[in-house]
Amino acid sequence: MFVKPPSHTRPTLWKGKEKATEEPEFEDLNPTITYRTLFAQNLGVRDPLRVIALCDSDAFYAACEMIRLGIPDKPLVVLQWSSLIAVNYPARKFGITRMMNVQDALQLCPELVVVHVATYKEGEKEPGYWDNPDTKTHKVSLDMYRRESVKMLQLYKEGLPETTEVEKASIDEAFMDLTRPTRQILLERYPYLAQVPDDAPLGLDTPLPPPPQVSWDGLGTVVPIDPSITEELESPSTWHDVALSIAAECMEKVRQHIKAILGYTTSAGIARNKFLAKLCASYRKPMNQSILRNAAIPGYLKPMAFQKIRFLGGKLGKSLASEYDVSTVADLLRISLDEMQSKFGEESIWIYEVLRGIDHTEVKEKQTVNKSMLASKNLPQPVTQLSEGYHWIRVLAAELALRLNEARETTPNLWPKTLVLSARNVKALDSRRSKQAPWPFVKEVTVDVVAAAADKLWRELADPHAPMKIIGLGLAFTGVEGVEVGLKSIDTFFNTSLKPPSKRALEEDVLNTEPEVEAATERTTRNISKESSSFVCSRCGQKLSLPPSATRTEAERQAALALIQMEHDDFHVALELSKVSDNAPSRQTMIGVAPKDKPRKKRRKESPQGIAKFFTKG
């Protein structure tokens, strides 16, 4: 069904009006499905029966704490230093929001349960819930949330049909491509579709017979085709609607399964692509799933403030708004692709497409092997002498030891190849320095073992005779992967001593292979390619490069890239926060850094082009 552009012509205010054309707004909402389409195995992202879901946990950190404490219905917030980072739904009823300070929240709801996130404390092997944690001495631990996230992802995989592709999207969100299983179920339920009828005029290219009318009862909230009509008449179903309804059944089941096993409530969005699934997941929250039929896409998108769309909320959105004097998606639909590209560069085709509900991004399970584990901290007070570094190294070592041991619970033979310590010394010419050492085979990776190895790197890295003002430290295991099966049992390599490895052991126990690393954080996919000195951000497409160096080792390169990426991640989070409120705290307060910290300076020299320039600070 081709939906015509609106017949009315609004008074045009935008400057680009003369170039705006009456291009089709929403094409392909009801494509003809033939037997050939139905039988095709690999139509990929252009499959007209494509069905994608995004499942997001409700008030995730707060839910983890509610379950840990066994208080299911009380208003509760999770605090990180002085910022609220998660507010459960009972607390939201009191008007409490994430951007509020804790005193204001308590005023609104005196019985509010306030939980500070767990923190690592020097001398403790595991993070804990201490009274009055202090950013000067503690480091935030998100380990419990990560663990719960892993369990949830596992349940999605177990609870959905085997042919579903599941991609973790953030700590509490996952995309599911349900195209294959829904097609399979559809063919089982409507077996008459499995054979091209003898009298089909065009053979395989004959359109499918009319679909049955879908009953959406019990499947979630169906986004209305015309949002202005409260009691919408039932509109005829399409085969894509049938596929959506099957996907909705699967999602309802898996969400109930997660609630029963882990206790978490979730919300889901189900639509024809990732962009729309994500967008409509928050249509009715919490504990709900929303279904966006193709026919409802125009009515859903057009009245929406376009700056609500991911990546259009920051500078780029502001620039679009002022360039064309527009505020809704409908306003922007009038801008032609040529016009947009002439002002915002070639890549702005993605803006043009998302405004029309088009997104061909794949759902792809991310690699879990070959990665690095990074514990990092922006220091509340700069380290200015060697002796001040040990405290933080121990805190980072505790996090790293715990992360590795936890990962080994699911992959027992997991082994890092290298330990890398990186520091940002604003007083040094080469402000980002790192040192690495091959990671020895020691039986138990304890805090002591990691800290001892890291202390040694610290002494190599921090020159006590040179000016020192270290504002950030990172400790990483790189090249973390399962040890070769051929080794039979890695126990044979273990040093049974629980003591930290000797200096000699650290120097001698060399693994020759260079680490192959995929550093990963919760918020951004990292694509550190081997031997590359740059990375392309998966969120904004911007390329960030390291300055050339003839002497940098592989592990140093990876560590330096990881640091740049961390900064870039922070910038994205800051950008997102800026959408929510101009007074929002920076991510630095969100990830365990003293609120007093100054914003970090951008280091890139080249000025970005096209859309990229909207994703830089300043």
Binding partner selected for residue 208 from ligand DCP, Ca ion, none, CB under the kind-specific 5 to 8 Å limit: none
Asked whether 534 and 575 are in contact (CB, 8 A), the reply is: no
x-marked contacts with ligand DCP along 137-176 as a string, rule CB under 6 A: ----------------------------------xx----
Three-state secondary structure along 496-547?
CCCCCCCHHHHHHCCCCCCCCCEECCCCCCCCCCCCCCEEECCCCCCEEECC
**Span from 50-58, 159-167, 306-314, 478-486 in contact with ligand DCP (CB under 6 A):** 50-58
- CB closer to ligand DCP, 84 vs 393: 84
Cα distance between residue 125 and residue 568, in whole Å: 30
> Which 368-407 positions form the footprint of ligand DCP (CB under 6 A)?
none
Asked whether 234 and 215 are in contact (CB, 8 A), the reply is: no
Least Cβ distance, residue 278 to ligand DCP (angstroms):
11
Binding partner selected for residue 567 from ligand DCP, Ca ion, none, CB under the kind-specific 5 to 8 Å limit: none
- Structure-token match 């970005």, residue found: 608
**Span from 56-64, 212-220, 315-323, 400-408 in contact with ligand DCP (CB under 6 A):** 56-64
Least Cβ distance, residue 154 to Ca ion (angstroms):
18
x-marked contacts with ligand DCP along 61-90 as a string, rule CB under 6 A: x-----------------------xx----
Asked whether 487 and 532 are in contact (CB, 8 A), the reply is: no
Cα distance between residue 407 and residue 237, in whole Å: 46
Cα distance between residue 215 and residue 221, in whole Å: 12
**Span from 58-66, 306-314, 352-360, 384-392 in contact with ligand DCP (CB under 6 A):** 58-66
Asked whether 156 and 173 are in contact (CB, 8 A), the reply is: no
* Residue from the set 25, 56, 331, 516 that interacts with Ca ion by CB under 5 A: 56
**By the rule CB under 6 A, 60 interacts with ligand DCP:** yes
- CB closer to ligand DCP, 343 vs 579: 579
**By the rule CB under 5 A, 172 interacts with Ca ion:** yes
Least Cβ distance, residue 89 to ligand DCP (angstroms):
7
Least Cβ distance, residue 28 to Ca ion (angstroms):
31
Binding partner selected for residue 590 from ligand DCP, Ca ion, none, CB under the kind-specific 5 to 8 Å limit: ligand DCP
Question: 10 Å Cβ neighbour count for 551?
Answer: 5
**Span from 50-58, 92-100, 401-409, 494-502 in contact with Ca ion (CB under 5 A):** 50-58
**By the rule CB under 6 A, 286 interacts with ligand DCP:** yes
- Structure-token match 């991911």, residue found: 310
Query: Is 448 in a helix, a strand, or coil?
Result: helix
- CB closer to ligand DCP, 167 vs 331: 167
In total, the chain counts a number of residues equal to 618
> Which 505-564 positions form the footprint of Ca ion (CB under 5 A)?
none
Q: Supply the angle between the helices 60-69 and 143-159 in degrees, to the nearest 10.
A: 100
* Residue from the set 59, 76, 453, 566 that interacts with ligand DCP by CB under 6 A: 59
Binding partner selected for residue 148 from Ca ion, ligand DCP, none, CB under the kind-specific 5 to 8 Å limit: none
Query: Is 583 in a helix, a strand, or coil?
Result: coil
Counting residues that bind Ca ion (by CB under 5 A) gives 4
Cα distance between residue 64 and residue 262, in whole Å: 9
- CB closer to ligand DCP, 84 vs 254: 84
**By the rule CB under 5 A, 167 interacts with Ca ion:** no
Amino acid at 157: K
579-594: burial string, b at 16+ Cβ within 10 Å, e else: eeeeebbbbbbbbbbb
DSSP class per residue in 97-116: -TTSBHHHHHHH-TT-EEEE
**By the rule CB under 5 A, 60 interacts with Ca ion:** yes
Q: How far is CA 45 from CA 150, 221, 235, 517, in A?
A: 27, 25, 26, 29
* Residue from the set 402, 423, 590, 612 that interacts with ligand DCP by CB under 6 A: 590
- CB closer to ligand DCP, 289 vs 434: 289
Least Cβ distance, residue 159 to Ca ion (angstroms):
19
* Residue from the set 37, 57, 434, 478 that interacts with ligand DCP by CB under 6 A: 57
Least Cβ distance, residue 172 to Ca ion (angstroms):
4
**By the rule CB under 6 A, 56 interacts with ligand DCP:** yes
**By the rule CB under 6 A, 58 interacts with ligand DCP:** yes
Paired residues of 252 in beta bridges: none
- CB closer to Ca ion, 172 vs 339: 172
Residue from 182, 181, 177, 153 nearest 52 by CA: 177
Determine if the peptide bond prior to 286 is cis (ω within 30°). Answer: yes
Binding site for Ca ion (CB under 5 A): 56-57, 60, 172
Binding site for ligand DCP (CB under 6 A): 56-61, 85-86, 171-172, 285-286, 577, 590
